[in-house]
A and B are shown apart, each in its own frame.
Chain A
């Protein structure tokens, strides 16, 4: 696990600069994520003719990406079947498993500990009435994903929980997404306010949901 963690961290520290430079100087190679996904999806975004400025879209996504890769979002979108915990995104101490529906297994279901609201105190279970991981058949992994990969995944109906554009836009207001900004005592907030996140998210999608270019290394 520490391996993955290190990878994610070094990604931020070393690669961000490279990605940003690619983004600014390499707009030509930035491809629309939608364009690479299935045709049905493409048809659904035709209403966004007014602006398909790929530079703005990609720029907005990089903001979105910092939020999605923050512990508050990524911890429940792990690469494995065990959620992550804490600001250092370590494996959840009791090793609860995703289960088929994402709600845990046997005596280790999410809501056995995670209550409808945050439990007061440090290192206590954060709460939400609908606390869960993505289900086994739609894992929506964030952990370890490059901006390119994550952007493409987010708009791929086969990987995003069958969300169309409208649903994607609405998802920014989902109560579980919002829980990231009410994480309980001692946990850092995502790197921007929810308002700014919604703005970036909307801009990214409405400007064409472009994915940053795949990095060369």
Chain B
């Protein structure tokens, strides 16, 4: 099943839709804050080409456009599950196709910030309820009865008193002529039939028989394959290259210099175009390239952390948040905690390496790929290549993992440049080594944490961090602190700690950096939540009770209650190896308790992880659990093995042989609980990650008295 997106014209062709249909979309006029729901029949009035989210044809077949990328997080499931609820259709009768990149039609499509559901669920509920109401109205009109006597269920409209019924398909003609009603009434949570239920994912069957089409699986007629040797120093240019050996590799057709935009810089490479992926890779290996690496520093990992440590000792930094007089208290205190935490650079390591198919056709460009941010790709490439925005067609395939790396424009841009240069459709395949060594990476950060405890309470709290600011790569101002300096740290702490400072010490390197699952929370969480644990120990308090004291928030207290309940926290004995951490990001809070024990012969092992997720309103509890499970496994790798090491400006680890992934035999039992409440929907794909590392290292302190302040560390050598 090819789930690549379809233009409406193609969609009609593929679906065989002729004649009338009801097609509803959500249209966000550029000058309006609130969107409008429109019927396809009205599309012209608004001057937009309808590419609706919901199509119902005369046979009653329902097609839903998923406007977000499916990279494992479950949008392919969540979006239809939301729509089916208010539209009153059976989920298994729905077709789902990925929408093309176009924010005029779909609003933001950036699949990042755990925003698919939380960012669009209200719109989606409204849209589907509107469609339902139009169908019910159409039926009432046909039967000449009061609409209040009619209801929708299972893709049909029923007239209660007479028992008459009509299939949606029979009603689309009439419904499509109605004006979309305003202010439809949405269901209450208690009345949901689908939302909140652990329904099966719609994409699973395609993922068990090899039919799901990922970016790397996309094939178009006449397509060639390319592999690119890029500057291993992440920046810089091609000085010269010798392609004589590459051109002798059977299947190699052409070798050319190519560039791609990486933020505001360009990275140059040499592309080998061939008739198969293998030939392209062999040709790439046979290239001899001389690089121009001038104009930027070639750093070693040690340089980076040495400089961060120095900066933290010598500079105050920019205040992200400052209240009371933490400096005065710290400087006068007879006893203070002054500790340093350190986190490494991280690589996304999606199982599907980067790749992209591009077909340049003069004034028009078609792109297919595992793309998290189709509209950014559309924007960026149209500017870079001097094309009209509308002529750049960006199609999302399934993504074999994303984690932030695929919300970027470099790899589609490079593929487009190659297609243009060779005047043919091409698929650019990144080898694992390319993927691992080319960045951008999550920045590694050093934190200096100072605190004073007096009478069992936090009297002063100060965190200074030195690490790269992702936003600088996108033109962010350099005279303001990193807006994510406390991402992950629960806001109520900053309300109840009177003397507090969070300072960002500016730090730059030539290494491009970007978001990585849960972004700054993934590193901040470790520093802040470990430091809080140190303060709790200093205060002589139970670490969870200590947190409760400072988190003056009913919702958080319920989360803590749940953590205590499920982990048996209150029955544990001190020193048994229990650790706790709570973090918040993307509007969801996750608390984790980790239990560890000593291993005969040295080291520790994780016996159990309990995670409590409060994401407010949610669609599918099974997806929520899956995301938290996955986040914990990714967090385990990040805490205990993963670090991108630089030597002479190059990333050292090139493949899983040395960048070791957690494997099935290393995964502890994980128990996940979801808080039930009616709060607004929060993110699901990322918030489960940050609390894991500090909960683990806090458990290690509880068991061994050893405080881990630097990631990664080896469980075997604790």
Direct A–B touching in the complex (beta carbon < 8 Å)?
yes
Using a CB–CB distance below 8 Å, which chain A residues touch chain B? 1-3, 93-95, 122-123
Interface centre among B658, B660, B717 (most CB of A within 10 A): B658
Whose C-beta in chain B lies nearest to the C-beta of A123? B657
Whose C-beta in chain B lies nearest to the C-beta of A86? B657
Question: With an 8 A cutoff between CB atoms, is B655 at the interface?
Answer: yes
Output the least CB separation between B477 and chain A (Å): 43
Cross-chain contact B657 with A95 (CB below 8 angstroms):
no
A95 and B657 alpha carbons, distance in the complex (Å) = 13
Extra contacts, 5 of them, besides A1-B716, A93-B660, A94-B663 (Cβ < 8 A), are A2-B717, A93-B657, A93-B663, A122-B657, A123-B655
Partner among B654, B663, B716, B717 whose Cβ is within 8 Å of the Cβ of A95: B663
Q: Which residues of A contact B602 (CB under 8 A)?
A: 2-3
A195 and B663 alpha carbons, distance in the complex (Å) = 41
Cross-chain contact A2 with B716 (CB below 8 angstroms):
yes
Output the least CB separation between A121 and chain B (Å): 9
Q: Which residues of B contact A93 (CB under 8 A)?
A: 656-657, 660, 663
A3 and B654 alpha carbons, distance in the complex (Å) = 28
A94 and B665 alpha carbons, distance in the complex (Å) = 9
Q: Mark B626-660, 1 if CB is under 8 A from A, else 0.
A: 00000000000000000000000000001111101
Q: Which residues of A contact B717 (CB under 8 A)?
A: 2
Q: Which residues of B contact A95 (CB under 8 A)?
A: 663, 665
Cross-chain contact B601 with A3 (CB below 8 angstroms):
yes
Counting from the closest, the 4 A-B pairs by CB-CB distance are A123-B657, A3-B601, A95-B665, A2-B716
Whose C-beta in chain B lies nearest to the C-beta of A94? B663
Q: Which residues of B contact A2 (CB under 8 A)?
A: 602, 716-717
Q: Which residues of A contact B656 (CB under 8 A)?
A: 93
A1 and B599 alpha carbons, distance in the complex (Å) = 12
Assuming A2-B717, A95-B663, is B601 touching A123 (CB within 8 A)?
Answer: no
A37 and B447 alpha carbons, distance in the complex (Å) = 63
Q: List 6 A-B contacts (CB under 8 A).
A: A2-B717, A93-B657, A93-B663, A95-B663, A95-B665, A123-B655
Within 8 A of A (CB), among B380-408: none
A95 and B654 alpha carbons, distance in the complex (Å) = 21
Whose C-beta in chain B lies nearest to the C-beta of A3? B601
Output the least CB separation between A9 and chain B (Å): 15
Output the least CB separation between B692 and chain A (Å): 22
A165 and B716 alpha carbons, distance in the complex (Å) = 43
A122 and B285 alpha carbons, distance in the complex (Å) = 13
Whose C-beta in chain A lies nearest to the C-beta of B660? A93
A11 and B601 alpha carbons, distance in the complex (Å) = 18
A2 and B717 alpha carbons, distance in the complex (Å) = 9
A93 and B657 alpha carbons, distance in the complex (Å) = 8
A123 and B656 alpha carbons, distance in the complex (Å) = 9
Whose C-beta in chain A lies nearest to the C-beta of B658? A123
Q: Which residues of A contact B654 (CB under 8 A)?
A: 122-123
Q: Which residues of B contact A94 (CB under 8 A)?
A: 663
Whose C-beta in chain A lies nearest to the C-beta of B655? A123
A122 and B655 alpha carbons, distance in the complex (Å) = 10
Within 8 A of A (CB), among B659-718: 660, 663, 665, 716-717
Whose C-beta in chain B lies nearest to the C-beta of A95? B665
Q: Which residues of B contact A122 (CB under 8 A)?
A: 654, 657
Whose C-beta in chain B lies nearest to the C-beta of A4? B601
Q: Which residues of A contact B655 (CB under 8 A)?
A: 123
A94 and B663 alpha carbons, distance in the complex (Å) = 8
A56 and B34 alpha carbons, distance in the complex (Å) = 93
Output the least CB separation between A81 and chain B (Å): 13
Output the least CB separation between B657 and chain A (Å): 4
Output the least CB separation between A112 and chain B (Å): 16
Whose C-beta in chain A lies nearest to the C-beta of B602? A3
A123 and B665 alpha carbons, distance in the complex (Å) = 22
Q: Which residues of B contact A3 (CB under 8 A)?
A: 601-602
Within 8 A of A (CB), among B614-634: none
A122 and B660 alpha carbons, distance in the complex (Å) = 15
Q: Which residues of A contact B657 (CB under 8 A)?
A: 93, 122-123
Whose C-beta in chain B lies nearest to the C-beta of A93? B660
Within 8 A of A (CB), among B150-168: none
Whose C-beta in chain B lies nearest to the C-beta of A2? B716
Q: Which residues of A contact B716 (CB under 8 A)?
A: 1-2
Output the least CB separation between B100 and chain A (Å): 39
Within 8 A of A (CB), among B248-298: none
A69 and B602 alpha carbons, distance in the complex (Å) = 24
A24 and B683 alpha carbons, distance in the complex (Å) = 72
Output the least CB separation between A184 and chain B (Å): 12
A123 and B655 alpha carbons, distance in the complex (Å) = 9
Q: Which residues of B contact A1 (CB under 8 A)?
A: 716
A123 and B716 alpha carbons, distance in the complex (Å) = 23
A1 and B657 alpha carbons, distance in the complex (Å) = 18
A2 and B602 alpha carbons, distance in the complex (Å) = 9
Q: Which residues of A contact B601 (CB under 8 A)?
A: 3
A3 and B599 alpha carbons, distance in the complex (Å) = 12
Q: Mark B319-349, 1 if CB is under 8 A from A, else 0.
A: 0000000000000000000000000000000
Whose C-beta in chain A lies nearest to the C-beta of B603? A2
A95 and B601 alpha carbons, distance in the complex (Å) = 19
Q: Which residues of B contact A123 (CB under 8 A)?
A: 654-655, 657-658
A2 and B601 alpha carbons, distance in the complex (Å) = 9
Interface centre among B601, B654, B655, B657 (most CB of A within 10 A): B657
A2 and B715 alpha carbons, distance in the complex (Å) = 12
Within 8 A of A (CB), among B404-463: none
Within 8 A of A (CB), among B580-621: 601-602
Whose C-beta in chain A lies nearest to the C-beta of B661? A93
Q: Which residues of A contact B665 (CB under 8 A)?
A: 95
Output the least CB separation between A157 and chain B (Å): 33
A3 and B660 alpha carbons, distance in the complex (Å) = 20
Output the least CB separation between A25 and chain B (Å): 36
A103 and B658 alpha carbons, distance in the complex (Å) = 25
Output the least CB separation between A107 and chain B (Å): 11
Output the least CB separation between A55 and chain B (Å): 39
Output the least CB separation between A8 and chain B (Å): 15
Output the least CB separation between B513 and chain A (Å): 26
A70 and B657 alpha carbons, distance in the complex (Å) = 21
Output the least CB separation between A53 and chain B (Å): 42
Whose C-beta in chain A lies nearest to the C-beta of B282? A120
A2 and B603 alpha carbons, distance in the complex (Å) = 10
A111 and B253 alpha carbons, distance in the complex (Å) = 34
Output the least CB separation between B578 and chain A (Å): 26
Output the least CB separation between B544 and chain A (Å): 34
A122 and B653 alpha carbons, distance in the complex (Å) = 11
Output the least CB separation between A125 and chain B (Å): 10
Output the least CB separation between A39 and chain B (Å): 40
Q: Mark B519-544, 1 if CB is under 8 A from A, else 0.
A: 00000000000000000000000000
A70 and B716 alpha carbons, distance in the complex (Å) = 24
A33 and B710 alpha carbons, distance in the complex (Å) = 51
Output the least CB separation between A19 and chain B (Å): 26
Whose C-beta in chain A lies nearest to the C-beta of B664? A95
A1 and B715 alpha carbons, distance in the complex (Å) = 12
A59 and B607 alpha carbons, distance in the complex (Å) = 50
A65 and B369 alpha carbons, distance in the complex (Å) = 55
A2 and B716 alpha carbons, distance in the complex (Å) = 8
Q: Which residues of A contact B663 (CB under 8 A)?
A: 93-95
Whose C-beta in chain A lies nearest to the C-beta of B716? A2
A1 and B665 alpha carbons, distance in the complex (Å) = 15
Whose C-beta in chain A lies nearest to the C-beta of B657? A123
A93 and B663 alpha carbons, distance in the complex (Å) = 9
A94 and B666 alpha carbons, distance in the complex (Å) = 11
Output the least CB separation between B407 and chain A (Å): 30
A198 and B665 alpha carbons, distance in the complex (Å) = 40
A95 and B663 alpha carbons, distance in the complex (Å) = 9
Q: Which residues of A contact B658 (CB under 8 A)?
A: 123
A2 and B663 alpha carbons, distance in the complex (Å) = 19
Output the least CB separation between B279 and chain A (Å): 15
